[in-house]
Amino acid sequence: MIDIDHEHKEYRQSMGMWRRYRDLYAGGELLRAHADQYLTRRQKEPQDVYFERLSRLFYENYIGSIIDWYAATLFSREPSITIETRNDSAAQYFASFSDDCDRKNTRLTEFLKHSFTEMLVTGASHLLVDFPRPIKKPTNRGEEEALGLSRAFLVNYGAEELINWSLDEDGQYAWVVLRRSSQTQLSVETPQAIEQTFWYYYDKQSYKTFKRVDQIGEKAPIVQIAEGTHGMARLNKVPLITMRVSHGLWLMNKSALLQVEHLNKSNALGWAITMGLFAMPVIYSDREWNQVVGESYYIQLGPQDRFGWTEPDGRVFEIAAKNLTDLKDEIYRVCYLSQAAGEVSGGSKGQSALSKLRDFAITQEVLRSYGDTVKESMRRLLDAIAGARDDAVKFQVSGFDEFDIGDFGTELTDAQNLLGLGVESRTLQQQIFKKLAFKYLSDARQDVKDQISIEIDEQFSKK
């Protein structure tokens, strides 16, 4: 009997961390809703003062912008997927899959961009390869194609939704349990909401689906609603592909504590400045003081009395402002974007051109490393689908290695110079033309790219 709702030890240990990381990435009202988890209460601070500070909380979200910049830059040009097969229907299928990979008209690169962003936030993102469930078992491949049962689709699961797993001796999944919950309203006439929770169990051969429907405040039993053999059983693999990043490139993990420290310091400075605008009067007098002070009153002072205002001299403000700048620069530095920190603060004027070039070279190497991770996941994904469909197909995934997207003219000039060297290699010329065509038409449909590749190959085969 499967204890379907049992949670892995690592999962339980990571839940709080993932919640914090999502808050810090999103910022805005999502973070304000959990403000007490991030804004530290001062020792013996009155509760009403702390609540007022919570209500005024603001958050300068550097890490969210950094992660989005990496995702936008890496996917600014779609990768080139070259499909090598003699089966035209298989080539047509994978071209169609590239344009709609989840039955929601989502392009494969857009789907992977979302998974990549998830990976930078939580450290991992999971892609489930699924196939439509057959009402009746097809008798041959043609009937399977006609019923659409061989049309794979992807489902994205966040790190929090993989609740339990086991690995085999090769480090691959032996089985996994995925959990997903949602609230829904049965009908307009029935305003009461219910919470539906689904558990999906997969091993190397079979799947099982469980469901629980809870009324608000009431727990229902978990019931099994489906089971069978999944689409990748012939490969003896769990149909879950995990895109994972190393700790050194896990941007949220590297910068989360710095962002929390920056949040506390910036809010403390903002509170101090606000309080400074409401300075308290100070009366220097040896006499007993009982006069009322306010905007509509006046005060009477004796010959030796003095009047003033409590107001900070500003030195601590200067120290705090410099510390905030240092924290912001450190966030960018640990995310390999030191040059961007200078641009934001306006402090890069003294930086030499060589230093800027060296800093950006580091950023490009990080982007290439991310690109290798995405390309490897894409190859594994496509190979798994081809294996499950029993298609004789080879894939080549290229791209994610050049990020100066506005300088196609330079690439064209370099290609012309390379061709001008007179190297007697038709294969070299063929690959140069393909690379230029795919870069210039990076946002074209996959079937168009496939046709261009075929036509270039035919052109060189006739020479």
Chain segment 404-455, per-residue pLDDT in tens: 544 566 677 878 888 888 888 888 888 888 777 776 776 666 667 777 887 8
Distance (Å, rounded) from C-alpha 241 to C-alpha 125? 9
pLDDT digits (tens, 9 = 90+) for 44-68: 999 999 999 999 999 999 999 999 9
CA atoms within 13 A on the CB side of 283: 16
Amino acid 130: pLDDT: 92
- Given the DSSP bridges, would you call strands 240-244 and 80-84 parallel, antiparallel or unpaired? unpaired
Neighbours of 462 (CB within 10 A): 6
- 338-345 and 315-334 are packed helices; what angle lies between their axes, rounded to 10 degrees? 150
Distance (Å, rounded) from C-alpha 229 to C-alpha 203? 10
Amino acid 407: pLDDT: 53
Q: 383 near 396, Cβ under 8 Å?
A: no
Res 119 pLDDT > 90: yes
Q: 450 near 85, Cβ under 8 Å?
A: no
How confident is the model over 309-335, as a mean pLDDT? 85
Q: 244 near 119, Cβ under 8 Å?
A: yes
Distance (Å, rounded) from C-alpha 453 to C-alpha 445? 13
pLDDT digits (tens, 9 = 90+) for 212-245: 988 766 778 899 999 999 989 999 999 999 999 9
Q: 128 near 103, Cβ under 8 Å?
A: no
Among left, alpha and beta (phi > 0; psi -120 to 50; other), residue 44 is: left
Amino acid 418: pLDDT: 83
165-184: string of b/e by CB count within 10 Å (b at 16+)? beeeeeeebebbbbbeeeee
Distance (Å, rounded) from C-alpha 49 to C-alpha 64? 29
Distance (Å, rounded) from C-alpha 263 to C-alpha 463? 65
Judge if pTM exceeds 0.75. Answer: yes
As a whole-number percent, the residues of the chain with pLDDT over 70 amount to 84
Distance (Å, rounded) from C-alpha 70 to C-alpha 369? 12
Res 356 pLDDT > 80: no
In the chain, domain spans = 260-365, 407-463
Q: 116 near 374, Cβ under 8 Å?
A: yes
